[in-house]
């Protein structure tokens, strides 16, 4: 006989060997609705047209749920969001995009109960297993997921899913006896029959979100274009904004590409681009552009527009060196750009030649990072000059990310400019001497100083780590398939 108790009756201590199984929607996740997760799959793996179809079906889905036909509504969402997609694309979205949104919806207290059980941890969900499994296994240290199985044919989804059988949990867990703890919204969940203890959680309105500092695994890398979860209301606002956003982004791009630097701050503010800057006294010296050796501005990397907006603040075009910049971005760049070859000697010599003609902007991380972390700084910039100015850069927008790994990188800047009110914050810090210790020491010192100003955390992750984690490639444009 299963014992049912309220969540408040759960004791966390002494659970080091206990196994646990939890319902996902409405329990481990605060919200019961799954529309936003299917919308993410539809948009990121299928495109805006598929997303528009799913959004158009939202009123029907709401009606079905009101009538108590939740399973029918789920089948419609599965079909619209996955039919015809490559299984590999759905898995890529599940690995690179969905975990961030799952973490932002994770219930703090329920996760505490889930994590207190030191044995094997399982999750039961109404969503397809492949959408949930990367999050549960990689971020919550789960042992398995019981969910619907997508039907596929020759590597593509057919848009239908087979619900898990009554013994699916036993098959996944591989146990003969009962599991120790079950977490659900009520006693009607069949998987609780396999548990010795069962706890039910209060309605979603009483739950609090798991804070970032309590994440079981730091969220450093993720992909996808959307900033906010695409609930029906958010998705509708997004679709309605797209025509105006495209026109506004095109207008903003024209002023960035065509107008003199002296006019850009005022016009940018009029068009909703917010730029805030702070310049230390030693960051820019009189006649810096006429010195025999220029200054290296070593900046944290947020979007492709970092050196562009830095040039706007400095009121002169500063050359930038880049990794794997798309051909279109290279052609349209309003400032001089030079692509690095990844040959350390050749790259160092090229940067020295550029410094003989003026200042240079470098992004030692080698790639962008969306979260409040700094990747490991390459020490090459510290080997070529003693004149280094750390540049702390932060940027963001309400709707779209201006970076991508799996998408079309040539549109990165355009997506950033499509935000209603994109913003940039740049702080030019005091000049750092490049002759105080080894080049690695200097690079680490610059990284720590930028992290301190931005309240970011330093990491040892590299550009290659990011691309292998998200996309399984080395990050070179020509290697992307």
- What pLDDT, on a 0 to 100 scale, did the predictor assign at position 287? 44
Ranges for all domains in the chain classified under CATH 3.40.50: 3-213
**8 A C-beta contact, residue 344 and residue 428:** no
* Token output for 143: 């042992």
Provide the Cα torsion 435, 438, 442, 444; round to 10°.
-170
Spatial distance between the Cα atoms of 139 and 216, rounded to a whole number of angstroms = 6
Torsions phi, psi of 80, nearest 5?
Answer: -65, -40
Give pLDDT tens digits for 141-164.
999 899 999 999 999 999 999 887
3-class SS of residue 472: coil
The residues that bridge with 65 in the sheet, in sequence order, are none
Q: CA 295, CA 284: separation in Å to the nearest integer? A: 9
Alpha carbon separation from 471 to 43, 103, 263, 366 (Å, rounded): 17, 20, 40, 16
Distance (Å, rounded) from C-alpha 361 to C-alpha 341? Answer: 16
Residue 14 to residues 23, 113, 198: CA-CA distances in angstroms? Answer: 22, 12, 17
pLDDT tens-place string over residues 155-211:
999 999 988 765 677 666 655 457 889 999 877 788 888 888 899 887 765 689 999
Report DSSP state, residue 211: P
Q: Would you state the pLDDT for residue 290? A: 47
Alpha-carbon Rg for the chain, nearest whole angstrom, is 25
Residue count (the chain)? 481
Correct CATH for 3-213 of 3.30.420, 3.40.50, 3.30.1330, 1.10.3470: 3.40.50
Q: Classify 179 as helix, strand or coil.
A: strand
Alpha helical stretches, state H, 259-317: 264-270, 306-314
| Inter-residue contact 455 to 373 (CB < 8 Å) | no
Residues 463 and 475: their CA atoms lie apart, in Å, by 8
Closest CA relative to residue 85, chosen from 34, 43, 56, 53: 43
Euclidean distance between CA atoms 8 and 109, whole angstroms: 10
What single-letter DSSP state applies at residue 173? H
Q: How far apart are CA 464 and CA 467, in angstroms?
A: 5
**For residue 206, how many other CB atoms are within 10 A of its CB?**
11
DSSP-derived pairing of the beta strands 432-433 and 195-200: unpaired
266-297: b (≥16 Cβ within 10 Å) or e:
eebeebebebebeeeeebbeeebeeeeebbbb
Neighbours of 9 (CB within 10 A): 10
- Please report the pLDDT score of residue 49 as a whole number: 95
Q: Which residues of the chain have pLDDT under 70?
A: 1-2, 165-167, 170-177, 204-206, 285-292, 436, 474-481
């Amino acid at each position: 006989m299963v014992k049912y108790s309220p969540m408040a009756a759960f004791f966390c201590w002494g659970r080091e060997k206990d196994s646990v199984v939890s319902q996902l929607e409405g329990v481990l996740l605060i919200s019961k609705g799954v529309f936003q997760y299917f919308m993410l799959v539809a948009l990121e793996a299928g495109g805006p047209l598929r997303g528009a179809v799913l959004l158009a079906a939202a009123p029907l889905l709401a009606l079905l749920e009101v009538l108590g036909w939740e399973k029918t509504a789920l089948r419609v969402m599965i079909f619209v969001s996955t039919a015809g997609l490559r299984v590999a694309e759905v898995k890529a979205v599940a690995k690179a995009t969905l975990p961030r949104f799952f973490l932002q919806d994770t219930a703090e207290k329920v996760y505490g109960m889930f994590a207190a059980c030191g044995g094997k941890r399982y999750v039961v969900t109404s969503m397809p297993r492949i959408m949930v499994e990367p999050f549960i296994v990689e971020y919550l240290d789960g042992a398995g997921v019981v969910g619907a199985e997508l039907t596929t044919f020759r590597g593509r989804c057919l848009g239908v899913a087979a619900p898990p059988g009554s013994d699916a949990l036993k098959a996944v867990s591989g146990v003969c006896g009962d599991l120790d703890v079950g977490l659900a919204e009520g006693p009607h969940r069949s998987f609780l029959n396999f548990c010795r203890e069962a706890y039910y959680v209060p309605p979603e309105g009483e739950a609090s979100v798991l804070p970032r500092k309590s994440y079981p695994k730091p969220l450093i890398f993720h992909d996808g274009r959307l900033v906010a979860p695409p609930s029906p209301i958010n998705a509708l606002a997004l679709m309605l904004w797209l025509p105006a956003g495209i026109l506004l982004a095109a207008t903003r791009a024209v002023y960035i590409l065509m107008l003199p630097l002296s006019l850009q701050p005022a016009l940018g503010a009029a068009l909703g681009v917010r730029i805030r800057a702070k310049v230390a006294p030693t960051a820019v010296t009189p006649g810096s552009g006429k010195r025999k050796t220029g200054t290296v501005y070593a900046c944290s990397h947020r979007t492709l527009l970092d050196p562009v907006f830095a040039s706007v603040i400095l009121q002169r075009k500063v050359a930038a060196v880049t990794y794997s910049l798309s051909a279109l971005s290279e052609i349209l760049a309003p400032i001089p750009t030079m692509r690095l070859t990844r040959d350390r000697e050749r790259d160092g010599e090229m940067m020295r030649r550029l410094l003989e003609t003026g200042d240079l902007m470098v992004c030692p991380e080698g790639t962008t990072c969306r979260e409040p972390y700094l990747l490991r700084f390459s020490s090459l910039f510290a080997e070529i000059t003693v004149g280094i100015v750390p540049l702390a850069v932060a940027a963001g927008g309400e709707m779209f990310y201006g970076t991508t790994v799996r998408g079309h990188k040539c549109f990165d800047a355009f997506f950033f400019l499509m935000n209603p009110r994109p913003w940039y914050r740049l702080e030019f810090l005091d000049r750092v001497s490049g002759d105080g210790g080894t080049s690695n020491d200097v690079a680490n010192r610059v990284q720590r100083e930028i992290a301190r100003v931005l309240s970011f955390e330093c990491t040892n992750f590299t550009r290659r780590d990011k691309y292998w984690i998200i996309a399984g490639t080395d990050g070179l444009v020509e290697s992307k398939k």
